[in-house]
Chain A
Amino acid sequence: MIMPEFSGDDAAAILAERRYHAIAGILETVVTKGEGKWTYTDILDHVFLHRWLGIPIFLALLWGVFQFTFALSEPFMVMIELIFGWLGGLAEDGISNPHLASFVAGGIFGGLGSVLVFVPPIFMLFLALSILEDSGYLSRAAFVMDRLMYKLGLHGRSFIPMMMGFGCTIPAIMATRSIDGEKDRMITILVSPLISCGARLPVYVLIAGALFGASYAGTVIFSIYLLGIALAIAMALIFRRTLFKGEPSPFVLELPAYSMPTARTVILHMWDRSKWFLVRAGTIIFGTVLVVWFLSAHPWEATSGGELIENSYIASLGHFLEPVFRPFGWDWMAAVALLFGFLAKEVVVGTYGILLGVDEASLGESLVSLGLFTPLTGFAFMVFVLIYVPCVATIGIVAKETNSYRWAGFVVAYLVALAFIVSGLIIGVGRLLGFS
């Protein structure tokens, strides 16, 4: 008998196929089917996993998730804005020490408050994703995307960590341990930061809400998320053809039966995934915002107690960085916001809150009225935030999972380069089309 030679990946696929064949054979002999030929799971899978309709349905539902996230969180954001505005006013009127009053009103309520306003959209996003996951649909999404990804020479399992990346990139990168092939795993780690995490959502909600209005903000945010997925696929393809040549390993996925999500489990999942935002708000975001406030209010005499921000340390830093971003139509404030956003993306919003010195309710309005962004430059800024360096914690986990600081450095370098290229293209093409 001639034994065929298999590569490791082929052998795994053949073993899995034989295993399922054996299971099917055993089931046939021991299970008596009931009168219903089809279950709801069969019926729904027939359409949700359909060759042509599967991906459009997935895209439609994803768009629905972002409409849900933006439109439904708006009134709750207004409520939080009103509370922080009231607290800020109370601090300014009630604290006699000007240093302390500036710190509490500008640093705590202005900076941290402008970040906490985004608790509702983050909770809404995870509420929607939890419903999709608990119903059993999210694994189907990975399945339908697998077909497309495999045709592009990518590993289907890569899409599951990528989808986890909608929440946070760190668990997404850790989840790549489930990928068998080392090359597939490395590719997934390198492209995972391109999937837009929840920390970037406040930036999108602020800028899209201000520049595109409530009617289109959800669609604009959806397009940013789609762009992230498209870039991740494109970069994975480039890495597959250059750094990690070879065929992707086979993908075997067990699909759970559909089930009706219960309110309790959905809320628990939502809370589990969203609480990191509150934890970060109380730690790294709070700390960074305080540094930003200190740099914006000092030297105390030169800034007249934080009133003349142009004379502050942070303005000097911003003006130093500004030439790099000026071709994109962004000023020194954007440069500073992006710099501090390296620590945590939410800080981009907090930095604007402090620099503009307005309450949360007026932050978006100020971005427009001060002419800091046009729809074109604002869109390019959101894309830059999507792509440029992941947060410090993500870089740490890349170094840990790849066991190499060189790969972590590579991730930072290629993402910064890609951010400049893609945002530059958006600005260039936009201006050619007549947008300002």
Chain B
Amino acid sequence: MTDFSIKTGKMIAIYASALGVISLAVGLVEILGGWGESIPGDLFGGFVLAVMAVTYLGGVKRASHGRHEGLSFIIGGLFLTGVFGVLYLLMMGADGLMYLLGEAEALPKLADARPAIWIFILSLPLAYRVRSLTTRMTW
């Protein structure tokens, strides 16, 4: 017995696997000291991405079988992605404010965006799909 269709589950599982693998790769690079200017070295930032990745990947198998247990991990991963994506966006906004106050040399550029922001943007289609799947749920 499944909680939602296996076809939907497989689609969600593939997308979540991709997000999980990307998060894990970027997280490991951050933990190991970064790569150029695009991925900064950040031990705890990398740890957060690794936790996010494990959360996504932990639900892939059961989500592909159409089970709520799997979906819960993917929603947990999406939640973490959202929290940290928005956090880094706010931090970029704060950097912009620092520039306006004369405390920074330049406005933050798109290239300064942390990888977690890009992962957050990548996760939005999945979040939309999962949201439509769970609309009838209650808190």
Q: Does A40 contact B (CB under 8 A)?
A: yes
C-alpha spacing A46/B67, complex, angstroms:
12
A75-B101, A79-B101 are contacts. A41–B136 as well, Cβ < 8 Å? no
Are B136 and A35 in touch, CB under 8 angstroms? yes
Q: Number of B residues contacting the other chain (C-beta, 8 Å)?
A: 37
Identify which of A34, A57, A219 contacts B44 (C-beta below 8 A). Answer: A219
Return the contact of B55 from the options A41, A53, A67 (Cβ within 8 A).
A53
Task: Report if A44-B47 is in contact (Cβ < 8 Å); known contacts: A34-B138, A39-B139, A68-B87.
Answer: no
**Chain A positions 170-214 with a Cβ under 8 Å from a chain B Cβ:** none
Residues on B with C-beta less than 8 A from A68 are 87, 90
Binds B, one of A58-66, A302-310, A313-321, A409-417: A58-66
Which chain B residues in 67-101 approach chain A with CB under 8 Å? 68-69, 71-73, 75-76, 79-80, 83-84, 87, 90-91, 94, 97-98, 101
Closest residue to B76 on the A side, CB-wise? Answer: A47
A44-B76 contact in complex given A57-B55, A64-B87, A78-B103, C-beta closer than 8 Å:
yes
A residues in contact with B83, CB < 8 Å:
61, 64
Interface size for chain A: under 10, 10 to 19, 20 to 34, or 35 or more residues?
A: 35 or more
> Which residue from B48, B55, B87, B103 sits with its C-beta under 8 Å from A47?
B55
User: How far is B90's CA from A259's CA once the two chains are assembled, in angstroms?
Assistant: 23
Query: Is A37's CB under 8 angstroms from B3's CB?
Result: yes
Contacts of B79 in A (CB 8 A): 44
| A40/B94 in contact, CB under 8 A | no
Tell me the interface secondary structure of chain B in the complex: helix
Per-position contact with B for A31-52: 1 when CB-CB < 8 Å, else 0? 0001111111111101110100
With A and B bound together, what is the CA distance between A257 and B139 in angstroms?
7
Name the residue of chain A whose CB is nearest to the CB of B98. A75
The answer to whether A36 and B47 touch (CB under 8 A), given A64-B84, A67-B91, is no
Question: Digit string of B11-23 for contact with A (CB within 8 Å is 1, else 0)?
Answer: 0000000000000
Residues of B within 8 A of A61 (CB): 80, 83
CB of B6 closer than 8 Å to a CB of A: no
Give chain A nearest CB distance to B1 CB in angstroms.
10
Can you show 25 pairs from A to B with CB atoms below 8 A apart? A35-B136, A39-B137, A41-B139, A42-B72, A46-B72, A47-B75, A57-B76, A59-B47, A60-B47, A60-B52, A64-B48, A64-B84, A67-B91, A71-B94, A74-B94, A75-B97, A75-B101, A79-B101, A215-B40, A219-B43, A219-B44, A222-B44, A258-B139, A259-B139, A260-B139
Please give 16 more A-B residue pairs, beta carbons under 8 A apart, in addition to A38-B137, A61-B80. Answer: A36-B137, A36-B138, A39-B139, A43-B72, A44-B76, A46-B72, A48-B76, A53-B54, A56-B54, A57-B55, A60-B84, A63-B48, A64-B48, A64-B84, A215-B40, A219-B43
